[in-house]
Amino acid sequence: MIGADEDTELVDWQKTTDDGVSVYVLEYSGPVSAPTGRPRTLFGASSGGTVPAAEQTIRLPDGEAVSATDVTFEAGGTTLRVRCEKPSLLARIARFLPWWTRA
């Protein structure tokens, strides 16, 4: 779960809509910070390599899995807001054409 670790666990959550975009408000048992990426220990050489950014997903409390490139985070105290942006057509095409990179 996003933001949870051995010292902090999810206490409550709520899904809202802001300007037509899904926003999850997650409340934790202690202070949280916005995720900065996947932990190295889970995706390092010992696990067989790294996971390309386009293939990383975030699992939300209601079970929905969204691409890690389509979410933004805002942390404040014990609350983490996760905003699920709709990817542009260009971003969706780029996922299926790994050899094509945007300049």
Average pLDDT over residues 32-59: 63
Res. 17: pLDDT tops 70: yes
Q: pTM for this structure? A: 0.66
Residue spans per domain, the chain: 10-96
> For all residues of the chain together, what is the average pLDDT?
75
Whole-number pLDDT of residue 36: 67
Give the burial class of 57: count Cβ atoms within 10 A of its Cβ; 0-12 exposed, 13-18 middle, 19 or more buried. middle
Q: Is the CB of residue 54 less than 8 Å from the CB of residue 95?
A: yes
* pLDDT tier at 71, thresholds 50, 70, 90: confident
